[in-house]
Chain A
């Protein structure tokens, strides 16, 4: 079945550091890939959607790309700020599987001021 692997459970950075989070996916279909962000005490919210391999999505200073060859997708930000401290989830929708999403296990980002 479909799966999404998110290996980095916790990341601690200082302000203005570079952020890079990576996920790998497995599916037999044509995926649409997402990044969701969850701030403390809230539900997750969509950060980025990436629908075309090797094309970038961008929002709030974050960029996302995916590589069909290595079945991986990445979230990055050049200069993180303390307000970016949150949990980041990668997620995948398989092409013909309705609107269900498969989520990774989440990366907890802590940015020290």
Chain B
């Protein structure tokens, strides 16, 4: 079965610290995405990638970097974590062609103190 896994599942970070969230997919999908979820805002796209070693900015990229070292792995990096980045982060993957379904991971709850 297609699967997207995320690690860690939860994390507490200090303001100004560096945070790396990891995502791994076994779907053989070309596209991978990072979203953040906040009450009242729904899901907002931070970064996405359609091929290894390349990333694209989404709708809210400020304060975040992304890395796609292989087709299966996609990381989200917060170089200087801030209080406003407290949220739940979801990774997703999707294929190409006529199927646009995105498969989501279970999410990472990040709390910045």
Residues of A within 8 A of B (CB): 6, 9, 32, 34, 41-46, 49, 89, 93, 98-106
Please give, as numbers and ranges, the residues of chain B lying within 8 Å of A46 by CB-CB distance. Answer: 101-102
Q: Kindly state the interface size class of chain B when it binds its partner.
A: 20 to 34
Q: Which residues of B contact A (CB under 8 A)?
A: 4, 31, 33, 35, 40-45, 48, 50, 58-59, 90, 92, 94, 96, 100-107
Question: Judging by beta carbons under 8 Å apart, are A43 and B90 in contact?
Answer: yes
B101 near A100 with CB under 8 A, answer: no
A105 and B41 contacting across the interface, CB-CB below 8 Å: yes
The verdict on A89 contacting B100 (CB below 8 Å), with A43-B92, A43-B106 known, is no
B18 to chain A, nearest CB (A): 25
Main DSSP-derived SS at the B contact region: strand
23 CB-based A-B contacts, threshold 8 Å: A6-B42, A9-B40, A32-B100, A42-B107, A43-B107, A44-B102, A44-B104, A46-B102, A49-B101, A93-B100, A98-B31, A99-B31, A99-B50, A99-B96, A99-B102, A100-B33, A101-B100, A101-B102, A102-B59, A103-B42, A104-B42, A105-B40, A106-B43
